[in-house]
Amino acid sequence: MEPAMKYEMMSWEGFHRLARELALRILDSGYRPDMVVAIARGGVVPARVLCDYLDVMEMNYVRIEHYRARKMTPQARVKYPLNASVDNLRILVVDDICDTGDSFIAAIEHLREKGAPLEVRTCAMQHKTVSKFVPDYYVEEITEWRWVTYPWAVVEDLGELIEDGGLQDSSPEKIAGALREKYGIEATREQIEDAVGTLHLS
In tens, the pLDDT along 83-115 reads 999 999 999 999 999 999 999 999 999 999 999
Give the sign of the dihedral formed by CA 66, CA 78, CA 80, CA 90: positive
Q: Over 80: is that where the pLDDT of 80 sits?
A: yes
* Predicted confidence band of residue 189 (pLDDT cuts 50, 70, 90): very high
Range 152-160 average pLDDT: 94
Architecture of domain 12-145: 3-Layer(aba) Sandwich (3.40)
Residue 175 CB coordination number (10 Å): 24
Q: Over 60: is that where the pLDDT of 140 sits?
A: yes
Q: Where are the domains of the chain?
A: 12-145, 153-199
pLDDT at residue 67, rounded to an integer: 54
pLDDT at residue 3, rounded to an integer: 56
22-64 pLDDT, tens per residue?
Answer: 999 999 999 999 999 999 999 999 999 999 999 999 999 999 9
Question: Which residues, at least 6 apart from 55, have a Cβ–Cβ distance to it below 8 Å?
Answer: none
pLDDT at residue 65, rounded to an integer: 86
Range 127-147 average pLDDT: 96
Q: What is the pTM of this model?
A: 0.90
Task: To the nearest 10°, report the CA torsion of 76, 80, 83, 88.
Answer: 0
User: In whole numbers, what is the pLDDT of the chain averaged over residues?
Assistant: 92
Range 6-12 average pLDDT: 93
Partners of residue 58 on adjacent β-strands: 35
Q: Over 70: is that where the pLDDT of 71 sits?
A: no
Range 7-32 average pLDDT: 98
Q: Counting every residue, how long is the chain?
A: 202
Range 165-188 average pLDDT: 93
Q: What separation in angstroms does the CA of 180 have from each of 29, 177, 186?
A: 41, 5, 6
Q: What separation in angstroms does the CA of 87 have from each of 107, 111, 188?
A: 16, 10, 47
Asked if residue 15 lies in contact with residue 196, where contact means CB atoms within 8 angstroms, the answer is no
Q: Over 80: is that where the pLDDT of 74 sits?
A: no
Range 117-126 average pLDDT: 98
What is the distance, to the nearest Å, from the Cα of residue 115 to the centroid of all Cα atoms in its chain?
26
pLDDT at residue 31, rounded to an integer: 99
Q: How far apart are CA 79 and CA 62, in angstroms?
A: 8
Asked if residue 177 lies in contact with residue 37, where contact means CB atoms within 8 angstroms, the answer is no
